[in-house]
Amino acid sequence: MLTIYHNPRCGKSRETLKIIHENGTSANVVEYLKVCPSFDTLKDLLEKLDMKPEELIRKGEKIFKEEYKGKSLSDDEWIQAMEDHPILIERPIVVKGNKAIVGRPPENVKVLL
């Protein structure tokens, strides 16, 4: 089963979820803005994505520009920033077993289907 960290207000996230459903695959949908992943969950997601925390940050968000732009943070500090401000987490993230992808573009999800 897949898990998608989803923001229903995001077009890319909706498109990714649509591809999953069109494939006949079921998914556990986590609205991460309502139920933010814990620090440990974020760390686990980053390992599955094979990404550094700063690579998963949405740098266009207002909170990033106001609080983090131009700062040099450690990996743990970036993870903490995502836990404190889940809007900073790039979306959607789709997980299957020990692998994960960011659905940008949404077609990226096909490697997990």
Cα–Cα distance between 57 and 49 in angstroms, integer? 13
Domain residue extents for the chain:
2-112
CATH top-level class for 2-112? alpha beta
Q: Which own/partner contact pairs does 58-66 have at CB distance under 8 Å and 24+ positions apart?
A: 58/87, 58/88, 58/89, 58/90, 58/91, 61/85, 61/87, 61/88, 63/87, 63/88, 64/88
- pLDDT recorded at residue 95: 98
Which residues are part of the catalytic machinery?
10
**Section 2-18 average pLDDT:** 97
- pLDDT recorded at residue 98: 97
Question: What band does 102 get if pLDDT is binned at 50, 70 and 90?
Answer: very high
**For 33-88, how does the pLDDT look when each residue is reduced to its tens digit (9 = 90+)?**
999 999 999 999 999 999 999 999 999 999 999 999 999 999 999 999 999 999 99
At residue 50, φ and ψ (nearest 5 deg) are 55, 50
Structure tokens at 20: 């999953």
